[in-house]
Chain A
Amino acid sequence: MAGDTYRIAIVGSGPGGLSAAGHAAKLGVSHVLLERTDHLSDTIYKYQRGKYVMSTPDILPLRSDMPFGAGKRESILDHWNKQTAELKVNVRYNSEVKAIQKKDDGVFHLTCGDGAVITAENVILAIGLQGNLNKLTCPGGDLPLVQYQLDDPEEYEAETIVVIGAGDAGVENAIALSKQNNVVIINREGEFLRVKQGNLTLITNAIDKGVIQCFYNAEPARVEPDAIILNTADGEARVPCNRIIARIGAAAPRKFVESCGIKFPSADRAALPEVSGTYESNVPGMYIIGALGGYPLIKQAMNQGLEVVEYILGNKIAPADEPLLKKKFAGLGDADIEAVIAEVRATIPVFSGLNPLLLRETMLESDVHVLKAGEVVFRRNDYTNSFFTILRGGVAIQLSPTDPNVVVKLPPGAFFGEMGLISGRRRTATVVAASDCVLLETPRRTMLKLVKSIESVRRTLDQTAIMRQVQTHLAPGVSTEALKPLVETAEIKRFKPGELIFAQGDKGDDMHLIRSGSCTVSMRVGGRDIVLSYVPSGNYVGEMALLSDSPRSATIRAANATETVRLQGDAFKALLEREPELKAKVEAKFRQRIMQNEQMTRRPEAGNIIQFLIEQGVGEGTDVLLIDESLCVHCDNCEKACAETHGGISRLKREAGPTFATIHVPTSCRHCEHPHCMSDCPPNAIHRAPDGEVYIDDSCIGCGNCEQNCPYGVIQLAAPPEVKFDIFSWLLFGKGPGPGEEMSYEKKKMAPGEKVDKPKRAVKCDMCKDIAGGASCVRACPTGAAMRVSPEEFMSVALLTK
């Protein structure tokens, strides 16, 4: 074999390399796939047994001759092995490539570990990063109790295991092991900075609950046969253990890559080699795909594998998402996608800062709407929270709820719908197409990701959003021109839950418009703080000190994660002088507040209830189930009703949860403004319905992220329950489980020890959105103790409680 020169030699049989080899085999191109180990795709082979492998980005189509979809590690490897055999891919196992040299005739010589030399015209480097795991460098790092991977966490039981490394791999291992072992995790930093949101919640919860012990700011000093010695801030600490699992990352095998002649752009340890648009490196004929080229996702790498083979063969191939984008923009006529993307970039400033790949991905996730003049985009008080941009034509925003002729028109390039996105609350205005227009609707999740990661998107968004927020919530009817001097003083402030916004007695020279989250107003009366009111987003605070030219009369704290627009007092006062109508309105509100505060200081217990509700996280909810304990007879009919109307599984635990005075907050979904459960849902199965209900659709894969992310414990994973029969069939013939009963009925027939092995899915309260007549729990309460309230109603709940 060594005598023949292959057209393509592929180094590494990971997703990228395998896909490239598969395509070459299919096309009949002479090729060889060199794999270091005796099996394909070693990185995925070494994943935890049974690990669920994601296929993100979901929207990107797979273009490869190898199959791939989200699923268990085992099934993915199975499919690949089968397909590799079927396509007769020429794999050479146990062939670690030690050196690659380009000879003068342009032919690459690849020297393998066994001394064999393979020659090829082109080389595809698809070696990834995981082949080069970082090892413990401290003394004893080579002892047998140290391992660098975890195959099956259930293999170990009742051991003390030290996990080193605070990245995703370390955290995932630690959590999986903690089910039946005593786990200690070592974090070099003071917190977990490098992990996915879902893993962060998991690990912090586990540490808080004492399930996992964590050493922060600690590093291994040395390893002994039955313990590890750590260097911590307080000196050395000895942790006896049975096993050490080090997950301290991987780096580009730089030495090897450089020895092939490939240059790195910087000396940074994390730096990756640069490649051209056709994945070619600075060495002609040598291509780099996958994680080493900067694309760590499986699907990306597989697509690149196919593309790179086409490029080597001299074919120009359009990106994999081209047909999808064509379909998406079909409404524009037979448009050239390159041109449309260019138009988006040129027209819409929010998106112009995105790199080509990201812009295409964003477009793929967005919807294109072609509307006729007069068509409604969305209505006031809808609970949708997507983000719209105008590509062509224009829209009119109806500012007044009563008069549809009071409008603001937006031109191409402008965006709207950002208020719902930011505050997580209902739409504040109805928007209609002013002329025939083309709109792009980008989903909340995509937009939040962009705002979080791309500075230019956030900047562009904020500038316009501040003006609109001021116009909507503070000064309706005042022109943009007139507001300009005020808005120019504005800045966005972020507050953590419980953080002080300003304190009673402070000098007041600014005011805050709450744009997301909410706050509490409290006052010191008789030496203690009394909560006077709860202020949800869309309201302003701090104007009282400005209007009366006196120090702050009350303390304002963020009730949950809150963003405010801080406006300067002088500019605001100047605005009021210019706008007498606005001044009258603000003063009316000022008087109303003074009265309300006066009323509340005489009813401190009502303030305590507000405080209690906010401590329970009710403040970030949009619709919360509360139980009036002065009426509740503990009949649990609410729970039974919930179970009965949701196929046997109650999403509500009445008794669990705290009580204050006579208000009880049962364990039940609050339908948060910014739902924690939505933050890390791989299939994007959690949505908010137009009426505000947060619900999970049938695409749930049962991964449990939402269950972990919910701070209120209201999501559970459950298998579909048994069939229920009519009440009379149960009463007279004993069929099925009775009303409100668990589904234990069918289980009687099973052999002892047998388990129901049905796939579990996440279930939570959906506010009975599919049932006419409202939430079953409230309707089934015989004494009227159960109620659903929104934060705006707290004041009345609190005031009326006796």
Chain B
Amino acid sequence: MPHEAITVDLHCVTKWSKLGTSWQGVSLDTLLDGVETTAQFALARSYGGYTTNLPLADLLHGQAWIAYSYDSGDLEPKHGGPARLLVPHLYLWKSAKWVQGIDLRRDDEPGFWESLGYHNYGDPWREQRYWGD
């Protein structure tokens, strides 16, 4: 499966951004290539029961990867390894750690943190951290 080197800025809700981080991963475009779907939403599921939701369109067009390597090494568990979702254009909590699967859905289901105060979409450029932002 084709994989890529990715260099991106990360935006954490509570701290400043971490710029120029480098990863290796597989693009969601590659993973979903050939998948026919009417789904408009996605729910990423992690080991441990965490979930996060986002529009399917935000996973495509070069915007998202399943990353398994960080800074030229294996992705450590504390950073979400062995594999995590990486969606740099949204706040970092959307980049689900310990990713187990991604469900494509017709309806939008708020994830673990989105159901307890965190913004449903999470655009850092509009500072969408919490409900109502």
Decide if A and B are genuine partners. no
Interface residues of B (CB under 8 A from A): none
Question: Interface of A with B (CB < 8 Å)?
Answer: none
